[in-house]
Structure 1
Amino acid sequence: MMMNKIKAALCFTGGKDCTLALHRVSTKYNVAMLVTFAPRSAQPFRAHPLHLIQLQAEALDIPHRVLLVDGPDYLGSYRKLIRQLREECGIEALVTGDILDVCNNFMGRAVETTGVELVRPLFQQPRQEILDDCWSLGFDILITCVNNSKFDTGFDASRLMVGHRLTNELLNQVRDYNTKQKSIGEVDLAGEFGEFHTMIIDSPLFRQKISYEAEPVVDGDFTYLNFKSTMLLDKYDC
């Protein structure tokens, strides 16, 4: 007799880490919902455009919900929203793609007293192992933003990365950069310190792939992709 899967929500921004977390937990958990936590008063995060996140959710055929977080008690607001997921939707677990301990175990504290389990399938795993898993699964990983202040002037991250696929060949250039430069510090290969951000265009769980037109735009220290159009295509379309 098969056991029922645990009903879960996935913290989702559309990047490689949360998408890999979804693939890793799919055999044990029923990911019934994708949730994007967003501060109510904040400007949209252009590295992870909401309209593209919603298109990814459609491609995954999983309902998506934006959960607006109120300050100044952000921890309390998170807890309230997580409790609502349990009480209104029957969510028993919250899955994240966290690799590092962020903000003094913020998400661990956020689930306290909510009755919801925190699941972090990528936590503290080697970057190369995570990236290799993404590539072996066939993820199509698009770099949507770089923080140019994280790179020395000898590495043109805007030109080399934004709008390009995250591949081992590209990361070899980053590795080479890390061995040569001394002034700023090494670039994390998974972008865990905000060096760059990604969005997934296709993966095994996507029922359709994403087609897009975009161009890079510079805004202060950041270069990001400005998406002019996005649409879903059948995977067999050229």
Structure 2
Amino acid sequence: MPRSLSSPSRFGIMNSEKIHCGNGEANMKTVIAFSGGKDSTLALHKIQQDPAFEVDSLLVTLTEGFDRVSIHGVRYKMLKQQSESLGIPLREVWIPQDCPNEVYQERMGNAVSGMLDDGITHMVFGDIHLADVRAYREEMLEGTGITPVFPLWGREVGELGREFINLGFKTVLTCIDLEQLDRSFAGRVYDKDFLQDYPEKCDVCGENGEFHTFVFDGPNFGFPIGYELGEERVAPDVRTGRDRFLFRDVVPK
């Protein structure tokens, strides 16, 4: 389908025309912005319940020379096991360590161009209530022809956390912010006992960066992913230089 050229997106892609399927809203080819954590996995599950969407792939950002999911720190090998269990291929974007913004923009722009070539019309995000993050994603995709979708947006976080557990999802905390949570939370499974112990002042879905997770089983998984907890590593806050983020490695079993 020919694309009209209009104002460029932040990725440098010029395309203002929305691409629609011939049968209206059915079977919209979709990519999931995926980290391996609970919010993106639940967003995937929601979209899979909607016959209007056809999930094509999981978009993942990985760090070169580190072979881990950017920010979350989960091993690439574990991510590939998630992909296999979910039955959905990965669409990988590799970025350098300490990636400059212009390099990130370039590589994500190349990824978006590849999506357009593959007929992708929608990208799904697991954001819940951070308006600035949503606005950033919308701005990045504006003018590309790919529509952002936020299936969890506006949900009450306590309700969403309980729903995640009640649906049968199982996830483990792989990174915590030591300024917000006690180090004992690293490596814990996100379950009803976790919710009881969780500080009331913190966002139970971790939307404010309290924690990140790795999902190892759920209703849309073909098989559970075996893992063991590995070593702990503390990383500094790049703004202050103080030790702040505790990573608990998740190792293939």
Which bracket does the TM-score occupy, shorter chain normalised?
Answer: 0.7 to 0.9
Residue 31 in structure 1 maps to residue 38 in structure 2: no
- Superposed, 1:103-114 pairs within 5 Å as 103=133, 105-114=135-144
Bigger CA drift: 195-204 or 60-69?
Answer: 60-69
Count of residues paired in the alignment: 214
Q: Does the 8 Å CA contact 1:147/1:221 hold for their aligned counterparts?
A: yes
CA distance in structure 1 between the partners assigned to 2:109 and 2:122 by the alignment: 13
Q: Do the aligned partners of residues 41 and 110 (structure 1) sit closer, same or farther apart at CA in structure 2, a change above 3 Å counting? A: farther
Report deviation, 1:50.
2.2
Alignment correspondent of 1:117? 147
Deviation of residue 29 (structure 1)?
1.0
Contact 2:72-2:212 within 8 A present in 1 as well: no
CA contact (8 A) 1:163 1:215 kept: no
Q: What is the one-letter code of the residue matched to 2:252?
A: S
Q: Secondary structure at the match of 1:105?
A: helix
TM-score by length of 2: 0.75
| Range with greater deviation from structure 2 (5-14 or 39-48) | 39-48
Matched, 1:78 2:108: yes
> Per-residue deviation at 1:4?
4.1
Aligned counterparts of 1:222 and 1:64: Cα–Cα separation in 2: 27
Contact 1:79 1:114 (C-alpha < 8 Å) held by counterparts: no
1:158 and 2:173 correspond: no
Secondary structure of the residue that 2:40 maps to in structure 1? helix
1:22 aligns with 44
In the alignment, structure 1 residue 62 sits paired with structure 2 residue 88: yes
- CA distance in structure 1 between the aligned counterparts of 2:46 and 2:64, rounded to whole angstroms: 30
Q: Matches of 1:136 and 1:190 in 2, distance apart?
A: 15
How many Å apart are 1:227 and its aligned residue? 3.0
Contact persistence 1:162–1:216 (CA under 8 A): no
Partner of 1:181: none
My pick for the range that moved more, 74-83 or 101-110, is 74-83
CA contact (8 A) 1:163 1:216 kept: no
**TM superposition score normalised by structure 1:** 0.80
- Report the equivalent of 2:210: 195
Alpha carbons of structure 1 residues 104 and 166: separation in structure 2 relative to 1, 3 Å: closer
Partner of 1:221 in structure 2? 244
Runs of 5+ unmatched residues, structure 1? 152-156, 179-185, 231-238
> What RMSD over aligned residues (CA atoms) do the two structures have, in Å?
2.5
